[in-house]
Amino acid sequence: MDDPQSPDRVARIQEDWRRERPDLDVSPQGVIGRLHRLAGHLTEELCLVYGRHGLSEGEFDVLCALRRAGEPYERAPGALAAHTMVTTGAMTKRIDRLEQAGLVTRRRCDDDQRGRIVALTQPGRELIDHAFTDHIRNEHRLLDLLTPTEATALQGLLATWLTRLENPPPPDSR
């Protein structure tokens, strides 16, 4: 483990690059590198909870998307892919595994016999309700490493940055 008094790994990497490439401004690594490392740590911590419920990260994501849909807890596979930010091919594999586990069912769409609808089963709903409760408890634990003021400031900064990245202004307005 790193000594809390010494620079973190990202700072040491930046120092190395400043020495080797003084012609480049490596300051973005201070943010991007730390976010990247933090994302890895957070993913590990979150996946531990999913695993306790017998779920992968992707399966947890699909069950959450179905549960968030509200009664009758169903969506078309394409809508599930949009709500979970994965490809339809990846979605099919996740749905197959969840269906084999008895957590979801698939049926033909009433409006379009070629289409399918994926729905939570009762065991699927019970599982995701328990898993999501544990997940939120875990997220609180992780966020409690910051003060409430720090957490609020970070949330605002990340929301702003993500909005600008996902919705860039038209090229002529820059």
**Domain span at residue 58?**
10-18+29-146
Considering the domain boundaries, does residue 137 fall inside one? yes
| Separation of alpha carbons 148 and 89, rounded Å | 40
| Separation of alpha carbons 78 and 19, rounded Å | 49
Per-residue model confidence (pLDDT) at position 47: 97
Per-residue model confidence (pLDDT) at position 116: 86
Q: Look up the pTM and report it.
A: 0.85
| Separation of alpha carbons 131 and 65, rounded Å | 13
Ranges of residues in the chain with a pLDDT under 50 are 1-2
**Six-digit token string for 150:** 């720090």
Beta-carbon contacts of residue 138 (< 8 Å; ≥ 6 apart): 45, 46, 48, 49
Rg, C-alpha atoms of the chain: 21
Considering the domain boundaries, does residue 151 fall inside one? no
**Six-digit token string for 168:** 């860039």
Scanning the structure block, which residue is given the tokens 């038209």? 170
Considering the domain boundaries, does residue 157 fall inside one? no
Considering the domain boundaries, does residue 165 fall inside one? no
Considering the domain boundaries, does residue 110 fall inside one? yes
Per-residue model confidence (pLDDT) at position 6: 64
Considering the domain boundaries, does residue 162 fall inside one? no
| Separation of alpha carbons 12 and 10, rounded Å | 5
Considering the domain boundaries, does residue 24 fall inside one? no
At residue 119, the 3 state secondary structure works out as: strand
| Separation of alpha carbons 73 and 9, rounded Å | 44
Per-residue model confidence (pLDDT) at position 2: 46
Considering the domain boundaries, does residue 173 fall inside one? no
Per-residue model confidence (pLDDT) at position 1: 46
The number of folded domains in the chain is 1
- CATH code, domain carrying 14: 1.10.10.10
Q: In what order do the strands lie in the sheet with 104-108?
A: 74-75, 116-120, 104-108
